Amino acid sequence: MTARLTKALSDTSFEELLDESTRIHGHICAGQVIGVRMSMVGLREIGIDDPKGAQRKSLYVLVEIDRCATDAIQSVTGCCLGKRSLKWLDYGIMAATFVNLATGKAVRITAREEARELARKYKPEVAGKYQQQLEAYRVMPEEELFTIEQVAITIPDCDMPGRPLRRVQCEECGDWVQDCREVEQNNRTLCRSCAFGRYYEPLKTQ
C-alpha cells in the first residue's frame, strides 16, 4: 500500500483502507473502523467505486461530526475541505451523507448507538470497552452497525466545488468574503464576523 491510494475501491480491501486511514489519522481507533466501513457502504450505495480516480468529480460528502471517523471518510473518499468536495456540518452526530453528483443519488449513513453494547456479543473475549468496540466493529454486520437511508439533497451552487461565484468586500473591516458568505445588514455588506461577532479578540499592539 503506497501513501496514496491508487486502486479502485472495488479492488481494495477493508484492511488496506483501514491501514491507510490509520496512517493519516495517526492511530487506530473504533472511529477509524466506523469511518472506513461507512465510506465503503456509502460509495457502494451511490454507485461510485473509483472515488479518487475517474469518478472523483462526481463525489460530494457531508459529514456531521468532527471526530475520528471524519478523517477516515476523507482518507477513503479523497474528499476534503480544500477541494470543497467535503462539507462539515457541526451537528455532533456520527453520520455522513454521500452524494453522486452525476446521478443525484444520495445516501445518509448513521452509526447506530446500539452497536456499542452489541460489541460484547461479537468480541466477548476482548478486554476493555474501547478495544472491544474496535475489534467488534470490524466484523459486525453493517445493518447492526449503521442506519442507511436513501435521501434527496440539494447542494447550493455556492457550496459546489470550483471557482468562487463571487468575492465581495466587507464594508466594516475590509476583509474579502468568498462563496456567498457575506451578510446584508442595515443596507451594508458585511462579513459574518462583523455581522454576528468574532470568534477571536484582536489584541492591541504597541
In the chain, % of residues over pLDDT 70: 95
The DSSP secondary-structure symbol of 199 reads S
Other beta carbons within 10 angstroms of residue 191's beta carbon come to: 21
> What pLDDT does 12 receive?
77
Q: If you count them, how many residues does the chain have?
A: 206
Under the banding of pLDDT at 50, 70 and 90, the label for residue 8 is low
* Nearest by Cα to 21 from 83, 80, 89, 68: 68
Name the packing angle between helices 68-77 and 30-46 (round to 10°): 40
pLDDT tens digits, one per residue of 9-48? 766 799 999 999 999 999 999 999 999 999 999 999 999 9
Helix (H, G, I), strand (E, B) or coil at 143: helix
Question: Could you give the domains of the chain?
Answer: 9-156 (3.30.1330.130), 163-206 (no CATH)
CB 142 within 8 A of CB 41: yes
CB 106 within 8 A of CB 99: yes
Mention every residue, 6+ apart, whose C-beta is less than 8 A from residue 144. 112, 114, 115, 118
Record the pTM.
0.90
Helix (H, G, I), strand (E, B) or coil at 147: strand
- In whole angstroms, give the CA distance from residue 187 to residue 51: 44
Mean pLDDT of 81-87: 96
Name the packing angle between helices 14-25 and 30-46 (round to 10°): 130
> What pLDDT does 55 receive?
95
Mean pLDDT of 101-128: 95
- In whole angstroms, give the CA distance from residue 97 to residue 142: 16
Under the banding of pLDDT at 50, 70 and 90, the label for residue 134 is very high
- In whole angstroms, give the CA distance from residue 85 to residue 77: 10
Whether residue 183 has pLDDT greater than 60 = yes
CB 62 within 8 A of CB 101: no
